[in-house]
Amino acid sequence: MPHLRTAIELAWQSRQHGNHPFGAVLVDENDQMLLQAENTVVTERDGTGHAETNLVRLATRHYSTKQLARCTLYSSTEPCAMCAGAIYWSGIGRVVYALSEVELYDIVGPSPDQLVLPCREVFAHSQRAVAVAGPILELNAEARAVHDGFWRA
């Protein structure tokens, strides 16, 4: 899972840059990395600056919907409902993530900012299939580690 590890590395970079620890990578049907993005919520002062939405914005500028349908988005953590919607509207055909939303919220702790809506459920209400793989348990510890000490002071 080298692309998923790259997404986790991007999450570490995002954290080092003063943002929330999330990263995402776009890969084509030949397993070639096309784009990558970090979370920029804090530094850009943009609540929609999640790694996945940043990646989708880049992807839709550079690739057609037909090309994106053959691509996979790898994410350090399960895409939230907003990101799942962006992924769907971009036409990206597949999502792979390491850490589940449920596990993330377990790490974060109680918060009024949580929108518990798994990406599979968002995609289940769409007219076009988006394949989902995750959580990837073999990378669970790595994906959790990037959040250690970040959310609770």
State the catalytic residues: 52
Q: Side chain identity at 16, as an amino acid letter?
A: Q
The DSSP call for residue 30 is T
Q: What angle do CA 133, 77, 88 make, to 5 degrees?
A: 60
Phi, psi of 152 (to 5 degrees): -120, 125
7 alpha carbon, distance to own chain's centre: 8
3-state secondary structure 52-84: HHHHHHHHHHHCCHHHHCCCEEEEEECCCHHHH
Return all residues near 147 (Cβ < 8 A) that are at least 6 apart.
21, 99, 104, 107, 108
